[in-house]
Structure 1
Amino acid sequence: MLPPILEIYVVWHPGDGPGADTANAIFEHFMQGPTFSGVIGGGVQVSFRSAAWEGPGTPPRPVYSEANPAPNGIRPAKFVAVVPLLGTELAASVEDTNSAWHAYIAAIRATQEASTERFGVFPYLLSDGATSGTQLGSILGKYQLVAAGQPERHGEDVLSMLCRDLTQGIAQLISPDEMDRLTAFISHTKRHSYVEGEDVDALVDLVREVIGNTRLREYFDASDLQPGTDWDAALTYNAGTSAMLAIRTDLYSSRTWCQREVAIAKTHGMPVIMMDAIGFGEERGSFLMDHVPRVAVRKLDGRWQKKDVYRALNLLVDECLKRALWMHQRDLARERPELDVAWWAPHAPEPLTLSHWINARIEQGIDAGVEGDLRILHPDPPLGPDEREVLINYAQTTRLGRGVDIMTPRQLATRGG
């Protein structure tokens, strides 16, 4: 077990009715959904802070962090995200500047200001009057609200918006890469089959419209490539540094540049979500396009469905946070040399990414004269037996000179790792 990476504290007053349901939605997203279950246990935890700790009317237990560790000696998470649920009862309890609740909320702000790179505050407004002219608003008003405004009709609900905004904010807080705002690279083809007609253009426009309604930034070649720039270098750089949303229409998998963009994203370990929008069919497909999460995008009454696009974007943001958690777990594994992991693969290996990794090791010459299998660890779910066998057999045909042992954290744990 590695030390914890991220702990999310949801804070609300027990008198604010909607607080419990909102907190449970956050818990379910991070603790019970499939995305974050793939990282090593303890990678992300969600804790509630609501029930009185020292008698009726008192605040809950403290929020623990590296600056304020728990008294039992348990190591705090490397990163802490606090989600205050701003309701009228919380506002009333904080209004008295001498109250324990006022001190509790003020301590959250003080801790964040003293540890801006490790401690984030992401308030969510339960009641409109909670922050208007109140002490609560004075203390937490400097922080940007998550899920501010109304969700788009026929696109998503407020809890979907809340979880995406929160996930994005946390990903930007903990990402080892330089990141002010998540960028979605829209990979698409301008060509369409005779059956699709203008459907492809309509879908691309819808994707851009939906991204524009979120806090994501888009990279779209038609608008982001400036005259006089090296378009090859610009596309290559952005495909290797952005989260990719690939719009797979009938001709997408056959286009050279689309194949290249996906290959660049995969070999750089970037998140890729494939939007399956095939209208009639593909002549052959491409093995480069598979082995990534896919979301079906369909039409209803002649219109592409916004909810499908939102679902793809939400999954893309989740994958960004999972990648950041995985990278931090890789770094913390230096404290556990007995794990002996040669490659912390951010996604389950495939022939493309495995060959890229093997070639890099061969060039470095670090395996010369060394025997024994190299351990490759990737997030759950595990590869199937046949998939794993193909990769192991492939590695044996290369100049690597060593075998590979491919597993997930759960499989490693069963071996006592």
Structure 2
Amino acid sequence: MPVPPPILDVFVVWHPDERGGEQVLTGLQQHFHSSAFSGLAGGAVEVYGRSAAWDDRGAPRPIDVGTQPAQTEVVVIVEGTELARAVDTEPAWAGYIRSALAVRDRGGAVLVLRKADYRGGGGVLHELVDGMQALTGASWTDAAVLGREVSQAITQHVAGRGQITVFVSHTKTASLLEDSTFDGQPLFAKVRTAIAETHLGSFFDAQDIQAGDDWVRVLNEAAAESALLMVRTDRYAGREWTQREVFEAKRHDVPIVAMLALRGGEERGSFLMDHVPSVVCDPVNPDAGIAAALNRLVDEALKRALWQRQRVYLEAQGFDWLPVHAPEPVTLGPWLQEHRVTSPDDRHVWILHPDPPLGPREREVVTELCAIAGYEDATVDVLTPRTFANRGGRLPR
């Protein structure tokens, strides 16, 4: 398989005398090399540092990686006292920052991470970066917050949208074994409070549906257009409307994360609720779990945006369907119906989705459903970028 070009290059720029810059680079490298992004094709995301002098002029090497630039370049400027001084007094650094800002002219983005102890001023650096999106103060001290803030800003840039909206899917009905309040708040209300402290938006049915709205339509549209967070408490899986919300989100291939906060357990669960990333949340002390779930949801939103960018290259290999989530009955059924109508002469089903791959028994179920739809077993192939490359990057002909 020809390796698709990189989709995203992130460059962290800091002055070598600025303490903490190396930690920012390491934190972002660990974040973007995590399992959340490893399932994409090829080297979809890479993170580079730009700090040490490249030659006797004192500035780092240019913002580029040679002959194969990524579709999108993002520069994170660590704004601090040392960089401000260098931009004011050293022409090489002033020119370098101006060249870094020029990535915007070729479709890139620039983010500013302001050091917690930096008070700013009226210098050249302030003039150059004034008005740009600054990452929150907690990003400097909390690597998880830094990763979320950078991922969210990149998602908004790549997808061409504004704020990521989190549809919070929850049930207000507590089980007998659940303590439904935490410091006077239900768990889903604590989720909303946590979202309000980020740059994320939120959608809650009770607060966000206005009188006179078609509430069924509004709920369905919100679940289909947002990133969906499942607040999975004891009775969540068995409620009609939570099932419908997850159903609509899966059918529209939007990011979904399950926050598991069970106290007494579930009567039977639901096949609609699984096959998504999950984060454990302690229902007694939920703050850490809520933060982890929101962080993962933002990463899922970015993964979706990057996968959509890669599709233009991967479709050229001949695949019929490239969903961002592995196929399952909820999503495979309607796609097979559409495929039979739009491509009636096809005698194959070739599916590519991000890693990890389906297990053998999961593949059997997919194959059986395809056979029911009229496709023979030998014409069905469900692959990921890794399994496709291991096969030699070729589909059967």
TM-score bracket for the superposition, by shorter chain length: over 0.9
- 1:157: Cα distance to partner? 5.5
Residue 384 in 1 paired to residue 384 in 2? Answer: no
Separation in 1 of the partners of 2:128 and 2:141? 28
- Match of residue 354 from structure 1: 332
Q: Which residue of 2 aligns with 1:67?
A: none
One-letter amino acid of the counterpart of residue 61, structure 1: R
Is contact 1:91–1:130 with CA below 8 Å preserved after alignment?
Answer: no
Length-normalised TM-score, structure 1: 0.89
Aligned residue in 1 for 2:392: 416
- Find the aligned partners of 1:332 and 1:130 in 2 and give their Cα distance: 46
What's the counterpart of residue 61 of structure 2? Answer: 61
Superposed counterparts of 1:190-339, under 5 Å: 190-199=172-181, 202-299=186-283, 303-333=284-314, 337=316, 339=317
Helix, strand or coil: the match of 1:263? helix
Asked if structure 2 preserves the Cα contact closer than 8 Å seen for 1:147 and 1:158, the reply is no
- Please give the TM-score of this superposition, normalised by the length of structure 2: 0.93
Residue of structure 2 equivalent to 1:102: 94
Conserved in 2, the CA contact under 8 Å of 1:19 and 1:126? no
**Stretch deviating more after TM superposition (273-282 or 310-319):** 273-282
RMSD: 1.9
Residue 46 of structure 1 deviates from its aligned partner by 0.9
Compute the displacement of 1:130 (Å). 6.1
Q: 3-state DSSP class of the match of 1:307?
A: helix
Rounded to whole Å, the distance in 2 between the matches of 1:127 and 1:250 is: 41
Q: By how many angstroms is 1:252 displaced?
A: 0.8
Could you tell me how far apart the structure 2 residues matched to 1:210 and 1:347 are? 27
Structure 1 residue 165 corresponds to structure 2 residue 149: yes
Describe how 1:63-102 pairs up with structure 2 within 5 A.
63-64=63-64, 72=66, 74-96=67-89, 99-102=91-94
Q: How far 1:292 moved relative to its partner? A: 0.4
Secondary structure of 1:252's match? coil
Q: What is the CA distance between 1:129 and its match in structure 2?
A: 3.1
Letter in 2 for 1:260: R
Give the aligned residue type for 2:368.
Answer: N
CA distance in 2 between partners of 1:138 and 1:158 (Å): 27
Q: Which whole-Å deviations, capped at 9, do the CAs of 1:165-185 have from their partners, x for residues lacking one? A: 11000000001xx52110000
State the SS of the aligned residue for 1:191: coil
Cα distance in structure 2, aligned partners of 1:129 and 1:191: 47
Q: Secondary structure at the match of 1:95?
A: helix
SS in 2 for 1:83: strand
Which of 394, 399, 417 is equivalent to 2:369?
394
Q: Verify the 8 A CA contact 2:25 2:48 in the aligned structure 1.
A: no
Any stretches of 5+ residues in structure 1 without a counterpart?
Answer: 65-69
- Is there any run of 5+ residues in structure 2 with no aligned partner, and where? none
TM-aligned CA deviation for residue 161 of structure 1? 1.4
Q: CA deviation at 1:211?
A: 0.4
Could you tell me how far apart the structure 2 residues matched to 1:405 and 1:120 are? Answer: 38
Aligned length: 388
Opposite residue 409 of structure 1, the aligned amino acid is: P
